[in-house]
Amino acid sequence: MNTPSVDDSDSRGTGTGSDRDVGVSGNPPDSDSDSRDTGTGSDGGVGVSGNPPDSPAARLQALFEGHRLTPTQRRIAHSMVRRAAEVPFLSSVELAELAGVSQPSVTRFAVALGFDGYPALRKHLREVGPAEQSTEPGTYNEYQQAVEAEIENLKHLAEVLADPRPVHRAGRLLAASRPLPVLGLRAAASQAYGFAYFAAKVHPDVRLLHEGGTMIHDRIDAAVRAGATTLLCFALPRHPREVVDTLAYARSAGLTVVTVADSAFAPVAKVSDLLLPAAVGTGLAFDTACAPMLLGRVLLEAMCDDLPDAQARLEEFDTRATARGLFVE
């Protein structure tokens, strides 16, 4: 079976929604919510999946925790996590270019973390996590560079998946929800479609929500009335406000929200119960989403592990497909 092709995504951007300061865990400042954290709690209240504890990305995330960051600062933090091994060797100008912000913003970011300036922050990063500076070939053209960037995103995803517990929890939540609504709007619509297409072969009731509008709340209400307990969301930049509003509504309706997003600092973090990050590539005119797509397939695998009749359903489909001559071998 071939994976559906990825639709054209919205023009690349890194907007992060509200200007209100938000902590790196995704909770609003002074939030009383205890349903989202960076730990490994129960299915009822799980948080952002972490990186391996000794990885450069994990050390950076630990450094950011407990600080209220503005949207611009969250963008810098996200860029640093994505390029964790290189950050100790980047100048403030280079980091600013990487994050798409001004150089003074990088300086203010370092001060917000408690350092005298960016040099002090960089010195700290070199001391706590010494690493050899990466050397990338300078002969790659822009298309090759985009591929190399996606390879790095996949390597980072592999590091995150070294701790499979968040994915296992997500699989249990998705398998237990009957029906299972799957949300993805705009750039993320193709990710939601791809997941729903394959999930429908093993899950008895998958409901794709890939078109926005006034009826989306009605469809969530219908899913809840039918017995849904969990909603799976794919959220990619630029993040539509409608997705954030829809997830907030889904949680108010009693659904547990599992989200695949491009960053642990994405705007959807504050309205998700379990956030699984997978970075997108930004080297081309439109973002590339190899890591989110692969993470979606990983979630499918985890869900199948918790569906006792998944294999039987697949075999039944193959038998019928053969009888119909559905595929050309």
Q: Annotate 202-218 with DSSP letters as a single string.
A: TSS-EEEE---STTHHH
pLDDT at 87: 87
Q: Are strands 230-235 and 206-209 parallel, antiparallel or unpaired?
A: unpaired
Beta strands in the chain (DSSP E): 22-23, 68-69, 180-183, 206-209, 230-235, 256-261, 274-277
Q: How far is residue 39's CA from residue 41's CA, in Å, rounded to a whole number?
A: 6
158 pLDDT above the threshold of 90: yes
**Where does the pLDDT of residue 38 fall: very low under 50, low under 70, confident under 90, or very high at 90 and above?**
very low
Residue 21 has pLDDT above 70, yes or no: no
Find the mean pLDDT for residues 287-307.
Answer: 97
Report which secondary-structure segment, H or E, holds 19. none
Name 288's bridge partners: 281
Instruction: Report how far apart the first and last C-alpha atoms of the chain are (Å, whole number).
Output: 11
Q: Indicate the pLDDT class of residue 69, thresholds 50, 70 and 90.
A: confident
Range with lowest mean pLDDT among 56-70, 90-104, 229-243, 281-295: 56-70
What is the reported pLDDT for 130? Answer: 52
Of the given ranges (31-45, 54-68, 80-94, 192-206), which has the lowest mean pLDDT? Answer: 31-45
Q: Which residues pair with 177 in a beta bridge?
A: none
**Cα–Cα distance for residue pair 194/275, rounded to 1 Å:** 19
Which position has the higher pLDDT, 58 or 109?
A: 109
Find the mean pLDDT for residues 304-329.
92
Q: What is the pLDDT of residue 150?
A: 94
Per-residue pLDDT, averaged over 219-238, amounts to: 97
| pLDDT for position 25 | 35
Asked whether the CA dihedral 29, 76, 162, 89 is positive or negative, the reply is negative
What is the average pLDDT score of the chain?
A: 82
pLDDT higher than 50, residue 48: no
pLDDT at 77 over 70: yes
CA distance 289 to 77: 20
Amino acid present at 131: A
The whole-number pLDDT of residue 246 equals 98
Does 97 have pLDDT greater than 60?
A: yes
| Higher local confidence (pLDDT), 76 or 9 | 76
Q: What phi, psi does 183 have (nearest 5°)?
A: -110, 135
Name the nearest CA neighbour of 304 among 201, 189, 234: 201
Phi, psi dihedrals of residue 173, rounded to the nearest 5°? -65, -45
